[in-house]
A = this chain, B = another copy of it.
Amino acid sequence: MIHPTESTTRTLVSQLRSRIGQTVTVCGWVQTSRLQSVMQFVLVRDHTGTVQLTHRRDGGALEAVLDGAATESAVRVTGRVVDNPVVKLGGLEIVPEAVEVPAPATAPLPIDEQSGPEHRLDWRFLDIRRRPAARLGFTVAATLEQGLREYAQAHGCTELHTPKLMGTASESGAEVFRVDYFGRSAYLAQSPQFYKQMAIASGIDRVFEVGPVFRAEPSYTSRHATEFTGVDVELGWTRDAEEVQAFEEGMIAHALALVAERHGAEIQAEFGVEVTVPKTPFPRLAMAEAQELLRGAGWDPEGGKTDLDAEGERLLGSLMRERTGHQFVFVTHYPASIRPFYHARPAGRPDLTLSFDLLWQGLEVTTGAQREHRYDVLAAQAAEKGMSLEPLTDYLNCFRYGCPPHGGFGMGLSRMLMVLLGLGSIRDAVFLFRGPNRLTP
């Protein structure tokens, strides 16, 4: 029987200040080399910072290793940490005793500062590795997600994983990817909508899910992707969408407080953005009021638009910011004509829905609603939308045996990150972007 051995002790660059005078091992990448006639200076970067190796040429093996290590080679450096106020990087340096190059890089690198955005996406791993801001983005995304999850858990949600493979393209039929499935067709879930409602019908009181959602939408904008990470919540026994909104604003405020606390200073330094924790409640505005406000500011001069377009959302974001000082706004009571059949409608107003979008700085980051839980009304609303009820059978069956009132929302994690970090494109807010023209790397 084999038993565990001690693993090599590795020191992170951020820990070096506390190791002055000691011999340590640092693992990282060659960032740049200044190879002079007498001295060799090599900057080595790990995920926590960059340190200078300082080596006086002596004709030995180490000299040759340092001369030969191309930019971005992965190196394992053992050496003594020396306090040296002259060195710009933290006022210290490592005097190396041994340098291994377990993974040399080929020269030249395929991208540089001049590379265009698509070419950089082709070499995404290298682009991320060479830009501390990009790596920080993933750390921030993870903290944001953790904050959302903490709030959901603390408020009674059970985290669940629902299938991405569906037997029918039931939610809308359009914009759904078809999958070959053992000689028949399956479809990729556009959202966990039906399944999280099914969880409510299962007696799981409140549900939280983080997972991929798939949209077969030929959109080429800076805010659309064919696959993205959705954060979904569904709450049993809500009386109206207002309870869902109250849950969501609390969740966002909690998550942004966590991000501000952990990364506020770094985000300011790398992205020039101040993370502010939003005050609750967020402002709310019914769709009819929103349109009135927008039309007063010159939006949709023909007066023909039922829904908000991206331009309207941006304008509304700035108008509301002027009026309220708030970055968020819930737009509520969307017309039934532009909302899915499963959104509940106010009593006596079949033309409206108990639904909302949440805009953050003018970008839609969430859609939510109180759901229609009455079987007959739900089936009638589906029929009214011209939907065939047969593919909806499994879904509708949930409402025949006591599915309580409920409501929920779906949030796009990458859109949240776009606004949080002031990114120009969703391509920069995900690890590997997927769009109609991009399935690689």
Contact = CB atoms under 8 A, between A and B. Distances in A.
Interface in A425-441: 430-432, 434, 436, 439-441
A26 to B, nearest CB: 10
Interface string A126-165: 1011100001001100100110000001000011111111
Contacts of A210: 161, 210
Interface residues of A, number: 112
Interface stretch (A198-206, A269-277, A303-311, A379-387): A198-206
A56 interface: no
Nearest to A400: B106
Given A29-B203, A218-B182, A105 B227 contact: no
Given A2-B332, A128-B202, A284-B2, A163 B246 contact: no
A129 B201 contact: yes
B7 A239 contact: yes
A245 B216 CA distance: 40
A211 interface: yes
Given A167-B440, A202-B129, A212-B161, A104 B402 contact: yes
A201 B165 contact: no
Interface in A153-189: 153, 158-168, 177-182, 186, 188
A335 interface: no
Nearest to A405: B102
Interface string A107-142: 001100000000000011110111000010011001
B432 A162 contact: yes
Contacts of A163: 212, 227, 431-432, 434
Contacts of A139: 158
A1 B202 contact: no
A4 B162 contact: no
Interface stretch (A60-68, A82-90, A391-399): A391-399
Contacts of A124: 198, 202
Given A202-B128, A285-B2, A158 B186 contact: no
B165 A142 contact: no
A313 interface: no
A104 to B, nearest CB: 7
Given A2-B332, A204-B128, A246-B4, A188 B195 contact: no
A253 interface: no
Q: Which of A146, A178, A182, A202 has the most CB of B within 10 A?
A: A202
A355 B181 CA distance: 31
Interface string A90-101: 000000000000
Contact of A1 (B165, B237, B289, B399): B289
Contact of A246 (B7, B30, B123, B138): B7
A56 to B, nearest CB: 25
A29 B165 CA distance: 30
A267 to B, nearest CB: 16
A291 interface: no
Contacts of A398: 125, 441
Interface string A54-79: 00000000000000000011101000
Contact of A3 (B102, B103, B281, B402): B281
B103 A399 contact: yes
Interface of A: 1-5, 7-8, 10, 27, 29-30, 45-47, 72-74, 76, 102-106, 109-110, 123-126, 128-130, 135, 138-139, 142, 145-146, 153, 158-168, 177-182, 186, 188, 195, 198-199, 201-205, 210-212, 214, 216, 218, 226-227, 229, 236-239, 242-243, 245-246, 281, 283-286, 289, 332, 373-374, 394-395, 397-405, 413, 430-432, 434, 436, 439-441
5 contacts: A8-B239, A138-B204, A164-B214, A165-B177, A198-B432
Given A124-B198, A163-B212, 4 more contacts: A125-B201, A138-B160, A146-B153, A163-B431
